[in-house]
Amino acid sequence: MSNLDDFRLRIQDKEQPQVQNATGDGARTVYFLEAVPIIGGSETVVVGGTTYAQATGPGADEYDLNDSTGRVTFGVAPVAGVFMEMDFQSAIFTDAELTQILLNHGIVAASSSALANSSYYTAWKDIIEILMMDAQRRFKWSTIGGHDVDQRFVYRNLESLRDKIDAWEMGDIFEAGGMNSWAIEQANYDSDTFPGS
């Protein structure tokens, strides 16, 4: 499992299967998928029984997709009355966003190496901060599966989780001897020998 997949699983941002249907009108080439962002490469677009291919600058029987906005652009407008089905997976965070957050903390998303706790904790705290500050994402994240929840409790739970991560992170520092050696130095501190006193 890649670090990206592992991180997505740990932050409870699992890909959610989606299906969206539309009917062609013979003129319109642009449609929007409602559940965004879309996991890149997860989509299947079928128009009138024909599976279309994704292409930049699409031609006949092709489409282009913006994963972030859900914009589907067909090379040729689907004919009037034709049934279109778009199957895809969506998430709260795009792969690019999570990859950047991991990279900011020295973690290579495509690698399958074990995540270092301190790097992992700080990346996780970034996600919590984003969810706390972005009400739309927080609502989407907390209502996966169609549950109706009180957003005040979600916010408080995120604060509590952030505090727990801080405690776990401090536990790792203690285990590594970082805080331990600092505490020993403080216990042996003699203010009479401190320079400038």
Q: List the structure tokens of 57.
A: 């600058």
Residue 159 pLDDT grade (very low, low, confident, very high; cuts 50, 70, 90): confident
pLDDT in tens, 93-135: 888 888 899 888 888 877 776 555 667 788 888 888 888 888 7
Q: How far apart are the first and last CA of the chain?
A: 56
- Burial per residue of 29-63, b for 16 or more beta-carbon CB atoms within 10 angstroms, e otherwise: eebebebbbbbeeebebebeeeebeeeeebeebbb
- Encode pLDDT of 186-196 as tens digits: 344 444 443 44
Would you kindly state where each structural domain of the chain is located, as residue ranges? 3-10+93-187, 16-90
Q: Are 58 and 73 in contact (CB under 8 A)?
A: yes
pLDDT digits (tens, 9 = 90+) for 44-63: 999 999 999 998 888 889 99
Most confident range (mean pLDDT) of 82-86, 148-152, 156-160 is 82-86
Tell me, what's the pLDDT at 178?
43
pTM of the model: 0.66
Give the orientation angle of helix 117-133 with respect to helix 95-104, to 10 degrees. Answer: 130
